[in-house]
Amino acid sequence: MTSAPTSQAINPTTKAEVLARALPYIKRFHGKTIVIKYGGNAMTDPALQASFASDVVLLKLVGMNPVVVHGGGPQIDEALNKIGKKGTFIQGMRVTDAETMEVVEWVLGGEVQQDIVGLINFAGGKAVGLTGRDGGLIRAHKLKMADRDDPSKWHDVGQVGEIESIDPAVVRALQDDQFIPVISPIGFGADNESYNINADLVAGKLAEVLKAEKLVLLTNTPGVLDKQGQLLSGLTAKRIDELFADGTISGGMLPKISSALDAAKNGVNSVHIIDGRVPHCLLLEILTDEGVGTMIKSH
């Protein structure tokens, strides 16, 4: 015999209190846009996938406008392995030749995106997948990447893009029709070439352009940690500059924090870097005062 779901063990009074405490947050964020970068364990663990999808649907049903931007690094690596190709990285950026770009497009814009759309629709939402080509959403040009140690040197990382502009018209139209946009971080250039763009950067820039209330970045860590491994629950722009300077923030966290900081400086009310390994982390971050990560404010 299967055991009763945990939720049934919570007494009705506690349930009512939990719901009542969510009310001020629901009122405050009603009608507001929340851009969510979806990646890491939350994308690959079936239980976390289901909790993410139901969180997104619940946010939509209580009147918020979630927009999902997804990554897919591990899935791209897996697909490259199948064709006998090994991914190479320079300063955290994937070197993307023409063959790799083809794989990136069909993995991100096909398999991964459609999985997410399916999960959200199964949970009762109405998700629609987009890439940067749809509705001219993300225009990009080739990234010129300076060497970290010698800024006079440049690295050629192939079809990796830098965002030129974002036209949010197609996203707004979908939101107005009660759809949940799910966006793959692929841009297009002046000659119609495709570009692979860091998903954190796309999420940050999209949050700015949509004048989002919040940008939420899911990670595989509890948030931003200091050198002792302790969680830094609140950060300002000034403090982040200090953490960059002393090397506390490095590696894969660099693009994440940079895009978070830019968004906070350019009108996004708050940016949250949260632990995607925690079930229902989105609801905990947005509808309770029990945050599960680091919040970044511009000042």
Report whether 72 belongs to an annotated binding site. Answer: yes
What are the domain boundaries of the chain? 30-297
DSSP state of 285: H
> For residues 217 and 37, is the Cβ–Cβ distance under 8 A?
yes
CATH superfamily of 30-297: Acetylglutamate kinase-like (3.40.1160.10)
- The pLDDT value recorded for residue 4 is 41
- Of 234, 256, 231, the C-alpha closest to 244 is 256
What type of residue is 63? G
pTM: 0.91
Instruction: Kindly write down the DSSP assignment for every residue of 47-63, as one continuous string.
Output: HHHHHHHHHHHHHHHTT
Q: Is 269 flagged in the annotation as binding?
A: no
pLDDT tens digits, one per residue of 48-88: 999 999 999 999 999 999 999 999 988 999 999 999 998 78
Q: Any known ligand binding at 94?
A: yes
Within the chain, strands assigned E span 33-38, 65-70, 89-90, 93-94, 127-130, 138-142, 145-146, 154-155, 161-166, 180-183, 186-188, 194-196, 214-219, 234-236, 270-275, 293-297
Residue 176 C-alpha from the chain's centroid? 21
User: Which is more confident, 13 or 60?
Assistant: 60
CB 203 within 8 A of CB 67: no
Rounded to whole angstroms, how far apart are CA atoms 149 and 265?
Answer: 27
Residue 203: pLDDT band (50, 70, 90) is: very high
Q: Is 73 annotated as a binding residue?
A: yes
